[in-house]
Each structure stands twice: as C-alpha cells, then as structure tokens.
Amino acid sequence: MQKMINLKINGISVSVPEGSTILDAARQANIEIPTLCYLKNVNKEGSCRMCVVEATGARGLVAACVYPVAEGMEVRTNTEKCRQSRKLTLELILSKHKQKCLSCERSRNCELQRLSLGYNVDEDKFKGEDFVLPLDDSSPYIVRDNDKCINCMRCVVACNNQGIGAIGPIERGFQVHVGSAFDRPLAESPCVGCGQCVVDCPVGALSEKSEVSKVWDALSDPTKQVIFFTAPSIRATLGEAFDMPVGTDVEGKMVAAIRRLNPDYVFNMDVTADLTIMEEATELIKRIKTHKPLPMFTSCCPAWIKFVEQTYPEMIPNLSTCKSPQQMFGALLKSYWAEKNGIDPANLFVVSVIPCTAKKYECSREEMIEDVDVALTTRELARMIKTAGIRFTDLPDEEFDNPFATATGAGAIFGATGGVMEAALRTAAKMLDGDFKVIEFPDVRGTSPIKEATYSVAGITINVAVASGLNNARTIIEQIKSGEKKYDFIEIMSCPGGCVNGGGQPTLSDSIRNSVELKEARAKALYKNDSNNDLRRSADSPVIDVIYNDYFEFPNSHKAHKILHTSYKANKII
C-alpha cells in the first residue's frame, strides 16, 4: 500500500502519495500555482521559477513543480515574497520578448500574456540590449520566431520525447536561444513536422505555416471550385477552439461553419479513410499470403513516413504503398470526381482540414504535389470561422454534401491510436472470412504507447502491434531488426495518442492541459461516433461500392495503384 503524506497548503489539509510534488498537492487542494516551463507528461524541471512557493523546511523559495512534499510540511503559495519573485521573473522574460501581441497567433491564448496581466507586469521595466534573431520559415509546415521564445525548453523536451532531437539550446546567458544544430534552418534538420513542439509552446514562438490567405483567395476566385473535406479527428477537437468541453463531437456545427465560408462542397474525409482501408487490407492479405515483405507498416502519418525515410530507409519496403486518406481524397477528386462531372482538375481548389502540421509537408511531396492544394490545421480553420464572424456554438447541425457524405465508423476511429489497425482488421477479417462476426478489437484500443495482439482468421494467424509517438516506433523497429519481435502488421502514429493529439490541434491553456486527459477525452468522442454508426466496416460502405463499381473496379487494381498509391525515397540523416 502506497504511503500517504499529510501537509497543509494555504491552511488547507492535503494527503497525497509519497513522491508527489508541491504542485501535485496544490492541484489536489484546488489551488493553481502559476507555471511556464512545466507541462504535465512533457516537462518538469523547475527552470522558469514561476511556480516558486514558501515551504517549511526549505531554504528560501522552492519550485513547486519539482520540490517533493514532506510529512507535516506547510506551504504558502501567494505570499508577498512569492508574488514579487514571480513578477520579477515575468519582467525579465518580457525584457527580451517581442511585443507583437496584436498579431500573434497566441494572442488572448498565451500563458505569458495571462500571467503578465494577473501580476500587473510593466513590459518596459527592464530594457536589455536588442537581441534580434531571424524568423525561421524554411520548412513547409512550422515557423519559429525566436524573438517570442521565453526559453522554457518545452519544445526541446517535446522533440526529445519523440526521439528526434531536431532542436536544442544554443549559446549561453542572454544569448541563449533554441535552434537546430549549428543554427541551421529547421528545414535542414531531422525535424519530421509532427508539431508537438507547437502545441507544447506556451507562447507564440512556434506556429504552423499558415495558408489561410490562399484559401480566402480561392474562395474569392470565380474560376475556382473550392472543396473542403475534414479529417476524422477534427469533429472531436474543433469545439475546443470555441470554449466547448474537451471531447465534444461538433461534426454538425463544423460542417455548418465551413459551409458559411461559402465553398462549393463540404465532404467527409472518413470516406477516403474507408477507401484507404480497402486498399490497405487488400495489400496486407497479399503480403501475408506471399510472406513478403513483412511486417507491413501503415502509411497514413506523413511524419512517420519522413521518419522512416530519414532514419530507417531500409524499412521503406515494409511501408504500405497506400496514400493517406488526405492524399487519396485529393487524388479522387481530381480524377474520378472531375471526370464524372466534366470539370477541369486545374479549376478545382482542394482544401483538407487536418489535425497535423506534417500534412502540410505531405501536400508538398513531389510524388503527390497535385493532390491537395492546401492543408489547414484545426487552428487555422477556427481562425477563419472567427474572422468570418460565424457564431460557432449557435449553429445548427448540418450534414456533409453528397456523394461523399456517408462513411463507416471505421473511418471515424482513424483519429485515435489503434483506430487504423482496428478498421483494417474489421475489413481484412471479412475479406478472409465472410462470416467473421467480430467488429470491435479492444486489444488495440487505448493510449498505451505500445499495444500488441494476435488474431486468428480463416486459419491465418496475424500478429499486430500499435505504437504512437516516434520514440515508441523506434523501439518497435529495433525489436524487429534484432529478431526479438515478429509482427505481420503494425500501425504507427507519430503523435502520442494519435491524430486527436496532433500538432495542428487547438492550443489549450496549461490549466486545461494539466488537468484533463486530452487524448482519452477526444478519442472517446470518435469511438462513440463509431458505435452509433450503422455501418462499422469499410467493406460495408455503399459509397465505397459506388467508387469501385464506377471507377477503380476492385481494390489494388491497376487504376487504383496509379491513383491511390505512392512511393517513398531514402533521405538518410547523418
């Protein structure tokens, strides 16, 4: 039985497990201690000194995020000494922080701004020497503005947690800043574009490379037919940008809001999630029956693809050749849809709404550069809706446009780690055994970093694994290479928890991120969407039947390979 420690915080008695920090105990007492560098499950090093408190038995002020509790300890969190120390810290941070709040992506959603207001900080209290660093917009997906950076190092820890290490602290003292090795541009680093650094940044030093202006231009161009389609996870996260509870399914309001931006169509990307499964499940069965090349890895996540190309190019033959649902939809619209409706593909402007910054990179890959014109993050769509004066929470629920409106529940769960695997297993099992009744595969659900399962279908044993987070992907690859593990099919998502926790999702306040399990709450909305759907296997989708009957004939056909599949290339990072 775990030992409990009894203490008082601002006179409130608290009992917490041994090994807890003062910050943990304060939260249990419903007391919020301010933080900047701390973020639950990401960073805990006490470097910013915003969380300083007074505690019996301690010399001077201590950082609550790392200081352990002790029996009988008494803690005071808001003494004059604490408040003056925090105010001084904020004033020093602001002395080298770019004051561009009006145009900053994080304006009114910035931890530094919120704390400065609360502590009545004068931004001009200290004036250090000008230390202007160049804006790094070299990559197709992320922009770094180091003049806004507060050196909390959360982005560095996030990148290291992913096992990438593309960025780190450079120089010392007043000159310290975050950058890539030898201060080279981000585009020349091992960065894979997952965007975890962006959602973990407490200020506006990191943001996606916005393409909102391109979309506004297209919407104003009478020669363009503008088509939006939204990724599975967006329905579970967009509401957060409008202060709705985490995990609220806003599919109907999302469609209504986009329609009021006045595109020509609003389609459901779950349709091509189903199409991906038809192609991927067929490819998997072929590989299993021929015993090569196995294991087969999923290919939906562009950050994962880039990671393989850079770090494990020898594993490229193991990647499924299927394009991601995003790229499949663009390719489908500019081939099947355009031909069927007598439209010149050059007059289509295809916009995907995605949870991911790496999807912007995917659009720019030369193998698929014509598929999708612009990939907007959830944040970018929210900004467009707000700019257009649309009262999101007051909107009625509306449905996607036909013919790409109806999808299965298997498509919806793509946004959660294990979702692609479960969707593929549902259809692969039916392809192998038409009487296979199992729909749910709980062994591959949940937010555990690595999950394993074995299934037997039609006399065939299939060993599967699911990993989210690239460090966990590295673990699986090394186990395969050493012979320790043997799998047939592996799902990899670069972001911990999957797309619901993607780098393009809404940036929430630290108080929410530190108290709510985002991955679980968002994933729950997707699984509920699935369970409420009468269609739960991609193979049962009437829309997919029409697409194959009208155009592709059957999964993995010659035409399907030409339009729906792709290739990869080694890009080894030394």
Give the active site residues: 280, 283, 300, 320, 359, 362, 367, 499
Q: Nearest to residue 105, comparing CAs of 362, 387, 318?
A: 387
What b/e string do you get for 156-195 counting C-beta neighbours within 10 Å, with b at 16 or more? bbbbbbbbbebbeeeeeeeeebbbbeeeeebeebbbbbbb
Which residue has tokens 């009988």? 72
The amino acid that residue 109 corresponds to is N
Tokens linked to 228: 């939006």
The Cα–Cα gap between 258 and 268 comes to 12
Which residue has tokens 């991911």? 356
The Cα–Cα gap between 264 and 262 comes to 7
The Cα–Cα gap between 359 and 327 comes to 9
The Cα–Cα gap between 90 and 189 comes to 32
Which DSSP helix (H) or strand (E) runs through 546?
Answer: helix 542-547
Instruction: List Cβ neighbours of 482 (8 Å cut-off, separation of 6 or more).
Output: none
- Three-point CA angle 406, 432, 315, nearest 5°: 85
- Three-point CA angle 492, 419, 422, nearest 5°: 100
Q: Nearest to residue 284, comparing CAs of 320, 330, 240?
A: 320
Give the Å distances, CA to CA, from 221 to 225, 226, 254, 362, 451.
8, 9, 23, 25, 48
Give the three-state DSSP class for 241. Answer: helix
How does strand 460-468 pair with strand 450-457? antiparallel
Q: How many CA atoms lie within 13 A of 244 on its CB side?
A: 22
Is the bond preceding residue 245 a cis peptide, omega within 30 degrees?
Answer: no
Ramachandran category for residue 238: left, alpha or beta (phi over 0 → left; psi -120 to 50 → alpha): alpha
Ramachandran category for residue 403: left, alpha or beta (phi over 0 → left; psi -120 to 50 → alpha): alpha
- CB distance 351 to 373 below 8 Å: yes
Q: At residue 17, what are phi and psi to the nearest 5 degrees? A: -65, 145
